[in-house]
């Protein structure tokens, strides 16, 4: 399975800066054996696509979606709208959305299913808070998040899905979870996927996110069971993200 690296710009870069980022990133020497995507704000999808043209590296990703196809949902964006930009991936349930916008497991589940139906790969974000980890509830919390999110997903002949394990305490904190801690949680997640989805579950990439940078990325991607990384802060500079992608390339 190829490793997957996703840049998550979060709320950075409108169309002007997005276009410049894509052009600069495309000048980097990018590895062929790593799948690379960039999750941009909705308003920057068009500019990112224009800078990419027909190129598919990096693949385009969105950071959120709504589950209905169209209708009276002011301010929301549907999977088919994302498709118009050739969007290949979409994050769902990022902990910042869960924390600031009240996104629930039920919403995450509906969004993931709607994306899969539209042919966009949902990247389902899960992770425990520091308090939950201290109370010894990390496995239970993450298991429940994954179970809820995959309720309506299908494996047969459908676009795959991906899971991003992002412990909340490791995001933007400079305190990354160790590769061994991440590996343990990825094993917990893998079991949940296998129970629900059978053999097809082994095709699902489980990536790690939370303070990934140039110094630690290779440790994550060389650890068995970690299928790539979701990178926030360290992806804002295109040069740096290019270096990170190279560091994730299998030797
Ligand atoms: P970070 O963010 O790399 O800045 O910690 C990761 C994420 O939230 O996706």
For residue 235, report the distance from its CA to the centre of ligand 1, in Å.
9
- For position 111, what pLDDT does the model report? 97
Does residue 140 contact residue 102 with C-beta atoms inside 8 Å?
no
> What's the CA-to-centroid distance between 65 and ligand 1, angstroms?
19
For residue 231, the ligand 1 atom closest to its alpha carbon is 3
Closest approach atom of ligand 1 to CA 172: 5
Selecting among 88, 94, 96, 103, the annotated active-site residue is 94
Q: Residue with the nearest Cα to atom 2 of ligand 1?
A: 232
pLDDT tens for 20-69 read 999 999 999 999 999 999 999 999 999 999 999 999 999 999 999 999 99
Spatial contact of 211 and 182, defined as CB atoms under 8 Å apart: no
How far apart CA 17 and CA 37 sit, in angstroms, is: 17
Sign of dihedral through CA atoms 247, 248, 249, 251?
Answer: positive
Cα-to-centroid distance, 30 and ligand 1 (Å): 21
pLDDT of 157 over the 80 cut: no
Positive or negative: CA dihedral 37, 41, 42, 47? negative
Distance between CA atoms of residues 221 and 130, nearest Å: 24
Asked if residue 251 has pLDDT above 70, the reply is no
The ranges assigned to domains in the chain are 3-247
Question: Is 100 designated active site?
Answer: no
The pLDDT value recorded for residue 198 is: 86
Question: Model confidence over 186-224: pLDDT tens digits?
Answer: 999 999 999 998 888 888 999 999 999 999 999 999 999
Phi and psi, residue 60, nearest 5°: -90, 140
Asked if 91 and 66 count as a contact pair (C-beta separation under 8 A), the reply is: no
Percent of the chain with pLDDT over 90: 90
Q: Is 181 part of the annotated catalytic residue set?
A: no
Nearest to 235 by CA among 34, 1, 98, 36: 36
Superfamily classification of domain 3-247: Aldolase class I (3.20.20.70)
What is the CA 118 to chain-centroid distance, rounded?
17
Pocket test for ligand 1, best of 210, 214, 220 (most atoms within 8 A of CB): 210
Confidence class of residue 155 from pLDDT cuts 50, 70 and 90? Answer: confident
> pLDDT tens across 77-106, in order?
999 999 999 999 999 999 999 999 999 999
Instruction: Give CA–CA dist 56/84, Å, rounded.
Output: 14
Phi and psi torsions of 149, nearest 5°: -65, -30
pLDDT band at 158 (very low <50, low <70, confident <90, very high): confident
> What is the CB < 6 Å shell around ligand 1?
8, 166, 171-172, 209-212, 230-234
Residue 82 CA to ligand 1 center (angstroms) comes to 22
């Amino acid at each position: 399975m190829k490793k997957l690296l996703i840049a998550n710009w979060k709320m950075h870069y409108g169309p002007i800066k997005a276009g410049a980022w894509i052009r600069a990133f495309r000048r980097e020497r990018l590895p062929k054996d790593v799948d690379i995507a960039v999750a941009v704000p909705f308003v920057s999808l068009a500019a990112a696509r224009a800078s990419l043209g027909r190129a598919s590296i990096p693949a385009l990703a969105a950071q959120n979606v709504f589950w209905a196809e169209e209708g009276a949902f002011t301010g929301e964006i549907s999977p088919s709208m994302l498709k118009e930009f050739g969007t290949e991936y979409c994050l769902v349930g990022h902990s910042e959305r869960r924390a600031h916008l009240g996104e629930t497991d039920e919403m995450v589940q509906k969004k993931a299913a709607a994306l899969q139906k539209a042919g966009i790969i949902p990247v389902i974000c899960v992770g425990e808070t520091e308090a939950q980890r201290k109370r010894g509830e990390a496995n239970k919390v993450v298991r429940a998040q994954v179970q809820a999110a995959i309720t309506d997903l299908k494996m047969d002949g459908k676009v795959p899905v991906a899971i991003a394990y992002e412990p909340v305490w490791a995001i933007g904190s400079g305190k990354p979870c160790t590769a061994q801690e991440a590996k343990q949680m990825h094993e917990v997640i893998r079991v949940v996927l296998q129970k629900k989805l059978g053999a097809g579950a082994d095709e699902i990439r489980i990536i790690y996110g939370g303070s990934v940078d140039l110094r630690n990325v290779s440790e994550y991607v060389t650890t068995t069971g970690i299928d790539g990384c979701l990178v926030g802060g360290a992806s804002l500079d295109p040069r740096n993200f290019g270096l990170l992608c190279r560091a994730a390339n299998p030797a």
